[in-house]
A and B are shown apart, each in its own frame.
Chain A
């Protein structure tokens, strides 16, 4: 579908209420130049939409906000309560949009950790391949992800996720906690 977005008929949404989107009332599709579009019943076609998690840790498959960015204004079109309710094709488009927005490496194995130039040097396996990076040894560069995970942010602000420390091998966990003790 390559419907052109309709910018003329935007009913004023109540900013104090959440509009939940369901497959009955909204259609998620590609439009102009393969940009993500959302057509909402009794509303309009929104072009150039991105998706964002409301609860990325607690509910990664639900409560996904679809946001339209106009010239300046960001506007939430609505929130998908459960992506599984949507047709597969629509769910895939939302997943792709999320994958584009969240560029995060998920660490699957820690090969080595050490201390270099006052940084924590890490050599890891991630879902995006092997990676070696330096992380400033500060609290704000290794923040909690849920109760048992950590997000590491390297010198370039790239993000590396350990979803659950308990799932690391004993040696890896011991090495990890030796440096990232908080």
Chain B
């Protein structure tokens, strides 16, 4: 039945088990399909094998106790009427229909789900008597890394194990490359500033040893008036240095602000550009609140980075290095004493990185949850009040708030212990120098009073940044957390990827074809199952079905918001997978149940898809959408500013604006997803009138619960459990007396709005 062998579907049976099977009269070499699963039918881990011979299906495993054989299931092909997989929780089953009952024959964990879905498809064909082949091609699984075999998150994802990983820091540096010139300038100014900082202690030493308390006879012989003049010069030099340093610091501050805000701005825009390009499924998995936090706040960390590198920690590191050199040049013995606290610093920092660092994630998450909670309470305040749940919401918010408090305290308590401890360790250096250095001066062991004063001044410079540098870990922690979260977005590959050589839908006609399409948001749970249908250009199609039957999923696939798992969706004969995405979306207009309007004027919202539209076109579109009259009732007409999500307009008005937007977009295919569900009867009539005008000459797919809105459709597709179960005109479907008839019957009985929802229900 197969030419080559598949490693997974022609797997080898262990010798001991094969020998047992042969003893039972089963020859494993007869099996055209053999696959190993990891679970038995009690839900425990066990190596169980599926063996399919041309005329029977078996499962086998090592005998479990005396009296048990290796064969678990043995069914002749003729008794099996159907094969299917059923998803459990964390795993699934292959079931076969025997004597009118679906019987579980094999269990698998989710790790093997792809394999056994594939096996089940082959078994179906085998049961139906169709030719089946098993070969090396069956081992290909687009959800496994071909290199290491690790399961990928989605088809075509990059394997994180095999990907070439660069450190966050090196990536940050690469991001900074365009600003290398500015960075060099800032670094130059920084060096000048630090150089100037090193001069005053030396001058102070000279002041003490040569001018104020001369230690040599020659110096002491200089007249007092001359020494006073030197004093004046040296003090003037100190003032000049202070002024120069202030100028340098000011220049550097401006430069770092310029570069930092620019980097942050660019990063914010890059993140948003990535977010807008990510496929719809990404938003199924992430809350908007968290993404706002990442795009809005985490990107600001890059500004802080520039400030810290040019003005903060880099400067501190340079100061420490140069002052260290000065300390050693003054007295290397004394300098060595000052390094005593270093091992303690390393130990404390290591502890901090390992123990405290990850808790910052928790604080961030707690904040994000708090904001989400606040957002949902305030957005849903009417519901809260209507159900009298103010107290409950206050309590819930209080819980979130206390969680933020506790998680922030935990981190801050740890840091508030860490930082003073580090300061104490460093502070111990001062007394050490006073004692050891003071003794050297008293005993005249080569250290002058001026040098001791200079040493202590340098020591202050040495320890001050070191004390601050203990905060470096704190800052780095926050920075890397934010950077990593930002990179996470940038690294997320859109699942919907344009073909390498996309076909341009130049002037689409609007023909749509579903060719045996299967799709599920969860890879093991198809929502759409083997759906095939065609829509002719200009045809008006209605889609009806119960909630969750797959109606919206069908139109999501037309617009290629998701990729099908099996089969094809074609527009004018071109597989949407091969079509250029921009052209595809340009050909499709969508009017949703919840029209989404953006903050801006009514004019901005109508021209959202076509910024180049003329005022005449806008007026015509609004008129056709029955929106013109209500727009003109606003004092500012089309220039009326509307708030977030169309605040200030009624549901019907928002919908008519969205229809005007769709008219102006002029798509060849128009999708109406429950476009009139959320509006009152009068608005619905107005919208229906406008839709008649909008849909003329366009391929239209309309989903509606109110079946009255579909009675003028050329054809209605009835969707149930992911399949198109009926199709035909309104009258034809009523005559069939199937699901559509039942839906119409229910709705006619329930409807009190006879003017809108009444449908002529003829007995079939």
A residues contacting B by CB (< 8 A) are: 4-5, 7, 31-35, 37, 47-48, 50, 69, 71-73, 96, 99-104, 117-119, 128-129, 134, 136, 138-140, 155-159, 177-179, 181-182
User: Are B110 and A158 in contact, with the CB atoms below 8 A?
Assistant: yes
**B360 nearest in chain A by CB position:** A181
Pair A181/B285 contact, Cβ less than 8 Å: no
A48 with B102, Cβ < 8 A, contacts A72-B721, A103-B39 known: yes
Give the residues in chain A near B151, CB-CB below 8 Å.
Answer: 155-156
Question: Is B227 engaged at the interface, CB distance under 8 Å to the other chain?
Answer: no
| Interface residue B82 (Cβ < 8 Å from any Cβ of A) | yes
Decide if B90 touches A159 in the complex (CB within 8 Å). Answer: yes
Within B356-370, the residues touching A (CB, 8 Å) are 358-359, 361-362, 365, 369
Q: Which A-B residue pairs are the 10 nearest by beta carbons?
A: A47-B101, A181-B362, A157-B110, A103-B90, A103-B91, A156-B111, A48-B102, A159-B90, A117-B160, A178-B358
Residues of B within 8 A of A157 (CB): 90, 110-111, 113, 524
Contact of A158 with B42 in the complex, beta carbons under 8 Å: no
Q: Which of B107-154 contact A (CB under 8 A)?
A: 107, 109-111, 113, 150-151, 153
Q: In the complex, which residues of chain B have a beta carbon less than 8 angstroms from the beta carbon of A50?
A: 86, 88
Roughly how many angstroms separate A61 CA and B151 CA in the complex, as a whole number?
35
Name the one of B44, B89, B286, B362 contacting A102, with C-beta atoms under 8 angstroms.
B89
CA–CA, A4 and B285, complex, Å: 45
* Cross-interface CB contact of A182 among B42, B45, B365, B721, cutoff 8 Å: B365
Please give, as numbers and ranges, the residues of chain A lying within 8 Å of B102 by CB-CB distance: 35, 47-48, 69
Residues of A within 8 A of B1 (CB): none
Q: Report A98 CB to chain B, min CB distance, Å.
A: 9
Chain A residues with Cβ below 8 Å from B97 are 71
- Tell me whether B99 is interfacial, beta carbon within 8 Å: yes
Q: Which of A4, A177, A181 has the most CB of B within 10 A?
A: A181
A100-B43 contact given A69-B86, A181-B359, CB 8 Å threshold: yes
Q: Which residues of B contact A32 (CB under 8 A)?
A: 98-101, 103
Chain A residue numbers with a CB within 8 Å of B287 are: 139
In angstroms, Cα B107 to Cα A165, docked, is 30
Residues of B within 8 A of A138 (CB): 285
CB contact between B153 and one of A4, A101, A128, A155 (< 8 Å): that residue: A155
Q: What is the 8 Å Cβ interface bit string for chain B, positions 13-52, against chain A (1 contact, 0 not)?
A: 0000000000000000000000000010111110000000
Contacts of B111 in A (CB 8 A): 156-158
Interface presence of B161 (CB below 8 A): yes
Q: Which chain B residues numbered 461 to 511 have a C-beta less than 8 Å away from chain A?
A: none
B101 touches A159 (CB 8 A): no
Contacts of B290 in A (CB 8 A): 139
19 residue pairs of the A-B complex, CB under 8 angstroms, read A32-B98, A33-B75, A33-B99, A48-B101, A73-B721, A99-B42, A103-B39, A103-B107, A103-B109, A103-B110, A139-B287, A155-B150, A155-B151, A155-B153, A156-B111, A157-B90, A159-B110, A178-B358, A178-B359
Q: A48-B101, A159-B89 are in contact. List 17 more A-B contacts (CB 8 A).
A: A32-B98, A33-B99, A34-B103, A35-B101, A48-B103, A69-B86, A69-B102, A100-B104, A101-B43, A103-B110, A117-B161, A118-B160, A155-B150, A158-B91, A158-B109, A181-B362, A182-B362
Output the least CB separation between B316 and chain A (Å).
Answer: 29
Chain B positions within 8 Å of A104 at CB level:
89-90
- Identify which of B100, B355, B365 contacts A47 (C-beta below 8 A): B100
* B residues less than 8 Å from A117 (CB atoms): 160-161, 165
CB distance from A65 to the nearest CB of B (A): 13
* Nearest CB of B to A78, in Å: 18
Interface SS of chain B = mixed
Determine whether the beta carbon of A99 is less than 8 Å from that of B100: no
A7 to B100 Cα, complex, angstroms = 8
Interface string of B367-408 (1 = CB under 8 A from A): 001000000000000000000000000000000000000010
Q: Which residues of B contact A159 (CB under 8 A)?
A: 89-90, 110
Q: Do A100 and B107 contact each other (CB < 8 Å), given the known contacts A31-B101, A155-B153, A159-B90?
A: yes
Residues of B within 8 A of A128 (CB): 44-45
Contacts of A102 in B (CB 8 A): 43, 88-90
CA distance A82 to B153 in the complex (A): 39
Closest to A37 in B: B101
A156 to B89, CA, bound (A): 13
Q: Does B82 lie within 8 Å of A71, measured CB to CB?
A: yes
Interface residues of B in 37-88 (CB under 8 A from A): 39, 41-45, 73, 75, 82, 86, 88
What separation, in Å, do the CA atoms of A33 and B72 have in the docked complex?
Answer: 11
A100–B285 CB distance below 8 A:
no
Which residues on the A side are within 8 Å of B365 (C-beta)? 181-182
Please state if B95 and A48 are interface contacts (CB–CB under 8 Å): yes
Set A5, A96, A134, A179: member contacting B42, Cβ < 8 A? A96
Nearest Cβ in chain A — how far from B547, in angstroms?
A: 13
Pairwise interchain contact A33-B44, C-beta atoms closer than 8 A:
no
CB within 8 Å for A181 and B361 given contacts A155-B151, A156-B110: yes
Cα distance A39–B740 in the bound complex, in angstroms: 32
- Bound: A96/B88 CA distance, A: 13
Q: Does B98 lie within 8 Å of A33, measured CB to CB?
A: yes
CA distance A34 to B161 in the complex (A): 44
Contacts of A103 in B (CB 8 A): 39, 43, 88-91, 107, 109-110
Residue among A31, A117, A159 with the highest chain B CB neighbour number at 10 A: A117
Q: Are B362 and A177 in contact (CB under 8 A)?
A: yes
One of A72, A73, A101 near B89 (C-beta < 8 A)? A101
In contact, A136 and B153 (Cβ under 8 angstroms): yes
> Which residue of chain B has the shortest Cβ distance to A101 in the bound complex?
B88
Residues in B whose Cβ lies below 8 Å from that of A156: 109-111, 151
User: How many Å lie between the Cα of A101 and that of B101 in the bound state?
Assistant: 18
Nearest CB of chain B from residue A41's CB, rounded to whole Å: 20
**B160 — which chain A residues lie within 8 A by C-beta?**
117-119
Alpha-carbon separation in the docked complex, A33 to B105 (Å):
9
Complex: A140 Cα to B90 Cα, angstroms: 15
Contacts of A7 in B (CB 8 A): 100
The answer to whether B358 and A179 have CB atoms under 8 Å apart is: yes
Q: Using Cβ atoms and an 8 Å threshold, which residues of chain A touch B86?
A: 50, 69
B362 touches A158 (CB 8 A): no
Residues from chain B with Cβ under 8 Å of A4 in the complex: 99-100
Given known A-B contacts A156-B111, A156-B151, A158-B110, A100 and B101 have beta carbons under 8 A apart:
no
Instruction: Tell me if B104 and A35 are in contact (CB < 8 A).
Output: yes
The residue on B at minimum CB distance from A175 is B358
- Once the chains are docked, how many angstroms separate the CA of A83 from the CA of B359? 43
* In-complex Cβ contact of B88 among A71, A100, A129, A136 (8 A): A100
> Smallest Cβ distance from A143 to chain B, in angstroms?
12
Give the residues in chain A near B45, CB-CB below 8 Å.
128-129
In the complex, A48 Cα to B73 Cα: how many Å?
A: 16
Which residues from chain B contact A99 at a C-beta distance below 8 Å? Answer: 42-43
Alpha-carbon distance between A139 and B294 when the two chains are bound, in angstroms: 14
User: Is A181's CB under 8 angstroms from B358's CB?
Assistant: yes
